[in-house]
Amino acid sequence: MNFLQKITSSHLKNKEDAFYNSLIKILHYNPKQIHYYKKAFTHSSVKETNEKGYPQNYERLEYLGDAVLGAVIANYLFLKMPQADEGTLTQMRSKIVSREHLNELGKDLNLLKLVKSNFSNQNFGENIYGNLFEALIGAIHLDKGYVFCEKFIYKYVIEPYVDIERLQGKITSYKSLLIEWSQKTKKKIRFQNYEDTGKDTLKHFSVKMFLNNELISKGRATSKKKAEEIAAKRGYYKLKNVIIH
């Protein structure tokens, strides 16, 4: 091995050690198969592939983690709420595994610092945090098995964050709530796109919300759906005194 190869090898080893040590601080256990976790924090922009030419990024692990997380939460709610019907259980699970909540979990664990990407971290939207959290759950499941993964979810999701009474009163979609209210009261809620003049690197969408023909609120986000939800949330608090739900 020549001098340049030694330097390169040393640099790679330091990066490996840094990733491993940062991962242990988050997990509080020693991972067995580190390659799952590396994949969980590799963004598709890197365009890595394995020996068969398959993409090596967190997207498939995100899918798996979403399923495992949903199953664990569903089992918890089934046992915790013996009187709840299917619709209530489904609604409660949706609140716990909502994108907003998963983003908060990812932020609390500071997962973005582990990402391998060709983008600057500032260019990622909020959903990167939830995506990484789900991918991490997928990696834990593959590395340590379902039972261990279930314990991890209880420790890091259910015990610190899940409050049944508080969640029963939590609104999951302000837009849906307002549309339902408007239908009951014979009013008309509509959302209208308008030109976004921001200079952000990522494309943004701007939306206005009207009640009948009156402008109530505005929203702006990296997707039309999110912009409408922001406008709806602002509109909800503006109209809160007249809304019954």
In a domain, 96, yes or no: yes
Is 245 a residue whose pLDDT tops 70?
no
Which amino acid is located at 131 in the chain? N
Regarding whether 148 and 185 lie in a shared domain, the answer is no
In a domain, 101, yes or no: yes
Regarding whether 149 and 197 lie in a shared domain, the answer is no
CA pair distance 231, 217, nearest whole angstrom = 5
C-alpha distance across the termini of the chain, in Å: 71
CATH of residue 74's domain is: 1.10.1520.10
Average pLDDT, the chain: 86
Q: Which of 48, 51, 62, 66 is catalytic?
A: 66
- Over residues 60-86, the pLDDT tens digits come to 999 999 999 999 999 999 999 999 889
In a domain, 4, yes or no: no
Q: Residue 119's closest CA among 203, 15, 46?
A: 46
- Over residues 19-34, the pLDDT tens digits come to 889 899 989 899 999 9
Residue 91 has what pLDDT?
Answer: 84
Is 214 a known active-site residue? no
**Domain span at residue 140?**
10-168
Residue 51 has what pLDDT?
Answer: 86
Regarding whether 201 and 93 lie in a shared domain, the answer is no
Is 200 a known active-site residue? no
* Confidence grade of residue 15 (pLDDT, cut at 50, 70, 90): low
In a domain, 37, yes or no: yes
CB 169 within 8 A of CB 189: no
CATH of residue 228's domain is: 3.30.160.20
CA pair distance 207, 225, nearest whole angstrom = 9
Regarding whether 67 and 86 lie in a shared domain, the answer is yes
Is 7 a residue whose pLDDT tops 70?
no
Q: Which of 62, 134, 150, 228 is catalytic?
A: 134
**What stretches of the chain adopt beta strand conformation (E)?**
189-194, 205-211, 214-221
